[in-house]
Amino acid sequence: MFSLSTTFVKYLFFRFSEQVSSGALILTHLLIASVTFPVCGILGLLLHDSTINCAPEICEGLSLLQHRGQDACGIVTCGPKGRFFQCKANGMVRDIFDESSIRKLIGGMGVGHVRYPTAGSFNNAEAQPFYVNSPYGIVFAHNGNLINTASLLQYMDATAHRHINTSSDSELLLNIFANNLQQTGKFRINEEDIFTAIGGMMKQVKGAYACVAMLAGFGIIAFRDPNGIRPVGMAVRKTETGKDYLFASESVVAVASGFTDWDDVKPGEAIIITRSGVSRRQVVEAAAFAPDIFEYVYFARPDSVLDGISVYRSRMAMGDMLAEEVKRVLSNNGMSVDVVIPVPDTSRVAALNLAQKLNLPYREGFIKNRYVGRTFIMPGQQMRKKNVRRKLNAMALEFSGRNVLLVDDSIVRGTTSREIVQMAKDVGAKNVIVASCAPPIRYPNIYGIDMPSRSELVAYGRNEEDVAEAIGADLVIFQTLPDLIESVRQLNPSIKRFDCSVFDGDYVTGGVDEAYFSELEALRADNVRSKVAMMTGDLGPAEGKGGGGVPVNGSGIDEGGTVNGDDTVGLHNSWKR
């Protein structure tokens, strides 16, 4: 049966948009947009010596943030006379940035971005950083997710008259910032104008966002939402001629690049860096500071420090706390454990501390193929199952005839856990007990981690016994939420609250109800189907979302058949397949 892809729908929409009302226009746009790119890595670099190209360092920094995004990456630099140079595409940093592409990125300041795999588009045009030429020329990289997209799209169309070209709310956020700057009406702006524009934007948008922006010929800017949900910080490096400045999602970039004095951007704060100095401003009143606790559980590198908390030390503490819960539950169930085995890689630190605390042997039972990406966000259960077997191999000598305690950072869908438990039993494990460093995940993350809908979460509507049955384990032990919070908070007692919404359903920004969940889940389901179709080649007459495969009246496909919307408007993209 013939079905219209969203690419073709998008063409029809723009072809006949003059015939529909503004309200209908926004509704149609919502149906084909509103997909976010979660848990990304952002980076901004300004070198004091403008004759030195910053692109090689940005590329190195993005490789250190690769764990935060493996789907797409991009760099935009600013060279002489405020000209921007761009290279971005789908793929890993090592695949997109070779010597030739880096050499074409001219200028002493720039912005970089890595994007996490999502249920969204494969279109290169949706790789970040984004760019608008008015006013002044702005480049923008964003990590997070907005939750009031519908009203913002209405505002962009009816009031600001700005066109949003992709399905990323990052582009939406950029255009709101640009529109606020444009309202100054000035030929040249100053720091005060920028702070005012960002403050106005923060009052308009709701959600999680850590952003790095660059104004042509001016400087780089970073800001963070009033709750500080997503991380970003800054550092400085002294040189013979002056000071270089760095913004990054994680401190590991600063340490590896020789920067010092790491300082987290505060909630509701904006920082502007030019070659003449640094300006900081609390542009809106900080709300309840609540960094996402899942950064410490899973996403951040262990050698990073986020908001004054060592990720490594927090995972050590998680292992200590979990050990007490494991001891209690095993005793209540009359069970014993012969060996502790981590599920690589994130849970290793916690598993080792747990084993030491319980005086149990710690063994590496799974060998990981490091050339296969993370699996929990992959679309389609069969694809995830196949990838788990490609990703891990169990060593029979460590499992055979033993009661095994598998330690994992968390259990999301349960697909990976089920395959891992089965692998352990296939090589002879007598009993398999799974201990999770995180509590049961029963709610979606709406602030930038593209977790599945509630019905796909294995712990949704289930107790511990049900989860154990679902993943084939003999017993499942979850960290308690108070213990998880304490394991992180004890390293920085000034933080009174964390965003734990995936565990308790308490969304710090408010504005989340059943209608929001229903719309979000419907969009994610549609986009998962679209992405699976893209991967399997079952695209029908036209490709999925976001201006992909089949051209409609010359939709930007070059002679070689590659697709890149940014080659048709705005910046020229130096990356070619």
Distance between CA 153 and CA 515 in Å, rounded?
A: 18
Whole-Å CA distances, 342 to 363, 366, 401, 459 = 8, 8, 18, 21
Buried b (16+ CB within 10 A) or exposed e, 61-73: bbbbbbbbbbbbb
Which residue is it, tokens 């330690």?
407
Q: Could you tell me whether strands 269-274 and 309-310 are parallel, antiparallel, or unpaired per DSSP bridges? A: unpaired
Question: What's the CA angle centered on 296, arms 117 and 249, to 5 degrees?
Answer: 60
Q: Which residues are catalytic?
A: 40
Tokens standing for residue 117: 């795999």
Q: By C-alpha distance, which of 207, 229, 231, 138 is closest to 177?
A: 138
Q: Could you tell me whether strands 339-342 and 366-368 are parallel, antiparallel, or unpaired per DSSP bridges? A: unpaired
Distance between CA 454 and CA 377 in Å, rounded?
A: 14
Return the sign of the alpha-carbon dihedral for residues 23, 29, 35, 36. negative
Whole-Å CA distances, 242 to 45, 245, 246 = 14, 10, 14
Q: By C-alpha distance, which of 303, 302, 337 is closest to 322?
A: 337
Annotated binding residues, written as ranges, equal 346, 408-409
Annotated binding residues for Mg(2+), written as ranges, equal 346, 408-409
In 27-71, the DSSP E strands lie at 41-46
DSSP 455-518: GGSTTTT--HHHHHHHHT-SEEEE--HHHHHHHHHTT-TT----B-HHHH---TT----HHHHH
> Hey, is 92 helix, strand or coil?
coil
How many C-beta atoms lie closer than 10 Å to residue 228's C-beta?
Answer: 27
Distance between CA 96 and CA 109 in Å, rounded?
A: 20
Output phi, psi for 468, to 5 deg. -60, -45
